[in-house]
Amino acid sequence: MARLRLDSAARLVVLVDKDGQQIAVHGELGELDTTSLASLVAGNVAATGGMAKLIGEREFPTLSHEGERESIHISVIGRVLLVVVFDDRSSLGLVKLRSKQISHELAAAFVEIERESELSNGAEALPFDEITDEEIDSLFSQA
């Protein structure tokens, strides 16, 4: 992600799960609410994916939104969305090119991670096996 940000002169690179959960973020965060960004990106990809199906496409693998100063480029890599936020220090062409180049590497890395996680399945026990009702109740008193 750091390499993509550098190579594309982008402001920010975010990885988002298709369900709207933020996986990782790298770059100039500033005041940006990345949780909301992740949710809206996933909603956006889901909506355009629905449109794609209506016209007989499987999905739209990339989406771009250009603003006056800030722009967003989204690449769909399997279950994961690669989001690049950039401004006039970069250009859509450069971001598209660099995103495409790194998408292959990321796709291979995700396959590897999935394989490893299947192999280690059960090795790392979840810490919630013995969670008590009191602990669940206490969450609400903390909020």
Partner 1 sequence: MTFINYASREINCKIVYYGPGLCGKTTNLQYIYDSTAAPAKGKLISLATESDRTLFFDFMPLELGTVRGFKTRFHLYTVPGQVFYEASRKLILKGVDGVVFVADSQEERMDANIESLYNLEENLRSYGYDLLKIPYVLQLNKRDLPNVMPTNDLTVELQRKGEPVIEAIASSGQGVFDTLKAVAKQVLTELRKS
Q: What is the C-alpha separation between 81 and 72, in angstroms, rounded?
A: 12
Closest to 67 in 3D by CA, of 19, 11, 106: 11
Q: For partner 1, which stretch binds (CB under 8 A), given 3-11, 58-66, 92-100, 126-134?
A: 126-134
Q: Closer to partner 1 at the Cβ: 44 or 62? A: 44
Binding residue for partner 1, selected from 3, 35, 65, 116, defined by CB under 8 A: 35
User: Does residue 33 bind partner 1 (CB under 8 A)?
Assistant: yes
Binding residue for partner 1, selected from 119, 123, 125, 126, defined by CB under 8 A: 126
For the beta sheet containing 80-86, the strands, ordered from the edge strand earlier in sequence to the opposite edge, are: 22-27, 12-17, 80-86, 71-77, 62-66
Of residues 38 through 57, those in contact with partner 1 by CB under 8 A are 39-40, 43, 46-47, 50
To partner 1, the closest distance from the beta carbon of 53 in angstroms equals 10
Closest to 81 in 3D by CA, of 120, 119, 34: 34
Q: What is the C-alpha separation between 83 and 81, in angstroms, rounded?
A: 6
User: Does residue 116 bind partner 1 (CB under 8 A)?
Assistant: no
Q: What is the C-alpha separation between 112 and 62, in angstroms, rounded?
A: 23
Binding residue for partner 1, selected from 19, 28, 88, 116, defined by CB under 8 A: 19
Binding residue for partner 1, selected from 3, 6, 21, 115, defined by CB under 8 A: 21
* DSSP output for 63-104: EEEE-SS-EEEEEEETTEEEEEEE-TTS-HHHHHHHHHHHHH
Where does this chain bind partner 1 (CB under 8 A)?
A: 17-21, 23-24, 33, 35-36, 39-40, 43, 46-47, 50, 124, 126-131, 133, 135-140, 142-143
